[in-house]
């Protein structure tokens, strides 16, 4: 040290003996300072779209909450409310200690399946190609009923119906429904010549197919419920991953604007996402309150959806400061390209959801 202050950061060279009261007052100041920044930032975020991004671009940042902190706080609050209101869907799980179904229960289930298949087969809406699979399932069900009537102990040797008992994920084929255990599949693969074995990707997919059928006893409804639940809880990660891709799309759309760097588009995207979170959250809460009164809330969703679309347009118009016609053109391009980006991300995360169960 040379003197009383640090020559690098400017901190005063004092012995750090602070009183408890000083810590309390400092904590209160930080909380109220954060709250003051948050609500003032929120006001500009909602009622002056694009303004905060412009202020950040111009270097006026001290008076507003940092974009990253704003995103973390807003998204955390949004998904906390979202998952609290929507709740978790009941996932059908097969316990290892669960008692096996009796022959009478299996027969009751087969009779119900046969009635449903016969009803679907007579439905004129279902295309002919789909009815072929229904006929196969009906044939299998009839065979199972006949076998079970002859021998009540044959309930574990029944043919799996094709209509609702199979789960073929991506590359799944009929062989995935006939092999009922992962270790059996591994054994079959080892017995095949090296050039006849499944490659790494196909092996992962088929092992997961068999694993899910084994875990849920081939109940496709239970499997899809579990996949959907896993997928729903990956929404925060999906949106976070989409953020830099969305900013890259804006960078390409406004490539001729030399005064905008990639990070400027990232900041604009963060503010856009935060504003969208708040609009959606407001719509969800109002819809929830309206439904508590006994009225339908379809109009609430429509109003807030239109508000979200308008918010995106105003944000682009105010931040990029282009003519109305050019902004509208790029606005629709953004919406169109966003569908491709989100479809790609949703597909990747859907695959991950099914593979992670």
Would you state the pLDDT for residue 299? Answer: 78
Would you state the pLDDT for residue 163? Answer: 40
Would you state the pLDDT for residue 165? Answer: 44
CA–CA gap between residue 2 and residue 5 (Å, rounded): 7
Would you state the pLDDT for residue 119? Answer: 79
Would you state the pLDDT for residue 179? Answer: 59
Q: Which residues pair with 5 in a beta bridge?
A: 12
Instruction: Estimate the crossing angle of helix 67-86 against helix 20-47, to 10 degrees.
Output: 80
Closest CA to 92 of 219, 214, 177, 234: 219
Name the DSSP class of 5: B
**Distance between start and end Cα atoms, the chain:** 57
Would you state the pLDDT for residue 175? Answer: 46
Q: Is 232 exposed, middle or buried (0-12, 13-18, 19+ CB in 10 A)?
A: middle
Closest CA to 250 of 128, 157, 341: 341
Greatest C-alpha distance within the chain: 99
The residue extents of the domains of the chain are 68-88+232-355, 95-165, 167-216
Would you state the pLDDT for residue 195? Answer: 79
Give the residues of the chain that fall short of pLDDT 70: 1, 15-18, 26-36, 86-101, 124-133, 154-180, 218-219, 296-297
Would you state the pLDDT for residue 324? Answer: 92
39, 74 Cβ separation under 8 angstroms: no
Would you state the pLDDT for residue 203? Answer: 82
pLDDT digits (tens, 9 = 90+) for 252-289: 999 988 888 999 999 999 999 999 999 988 888 888 88
CA–CA gap between residue 144 and residue 110 (Å, rounded): 8
């Amino acid at each position: 040290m040379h003197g009383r202050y640090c020559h690098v950061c400017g901190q005063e060279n004092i012995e750090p003996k602070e009183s408890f009261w000083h810590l309390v007052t400092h904590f209160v100041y930080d909380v109220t300072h954060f709250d003051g920044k948050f609500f003032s930032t929120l006001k500009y975020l909602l009622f002056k779209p694009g303004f905060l991004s412009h202020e950040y671009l111009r270097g006026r940042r001290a008076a507003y909450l940092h974009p990253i902190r704003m995103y973390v706080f807003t998204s955390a609050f949004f998904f906390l409310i979202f998952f609290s209101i929507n709740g978790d869907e009941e996932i059908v799980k097969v316990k290892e200690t669960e008692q096996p179904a009796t022959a009478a229960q299996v027969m009751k289930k087969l009779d119900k399946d046969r009635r449903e298949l016969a009803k679907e087969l007579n439905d004129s809406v279902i295309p002919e190609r789909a009815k072929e699979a229904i006929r196969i399932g009906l044939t299998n069900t009839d065979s199972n009923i006949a076998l079970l009537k002859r021998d009540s102990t044959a309930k574990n040797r029944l043919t799996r119906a094709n209509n609702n008992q199979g789960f073929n994920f991506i590359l799944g084929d009929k062989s995935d429904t006939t092999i009922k255990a992962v270790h059996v599949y591994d054994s079959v693969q080892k017995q095949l010549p090296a050039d006849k074995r499944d490659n790494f990707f196909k092996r992962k997919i088929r092992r997961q197919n068999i694993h899910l059928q084994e875990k849920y006893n081939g109940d496709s409804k239970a499997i899809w419920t579990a996949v959907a639940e896993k997928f729903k809880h990956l929404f925060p990660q999906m949106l976070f991953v989409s953020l830099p891709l969305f900013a890259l799309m804006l960078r390409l759309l406004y490539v001729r604007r030399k005064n905008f760097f990639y990070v400027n588009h990232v900041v604009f995207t963060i503010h856009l996402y935060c504003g969208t979170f708040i609009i959606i959250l407001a719509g969800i809460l109002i819809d929830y309150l309206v439904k508590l009164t006994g009225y339908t809330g379809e109009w609430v969703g429509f109003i807030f959806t239109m508000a979200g679309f308008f918010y995106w347009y105003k944000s682009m118009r105010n931040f990029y400061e282009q003519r109305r016609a050019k902004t509208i053109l790029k606005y629709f391009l953004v919406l169109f390209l966003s569908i491709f980006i989100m479809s790609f991300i949703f597909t990747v995360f859907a695959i991950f959801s099914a593979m992670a169960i």
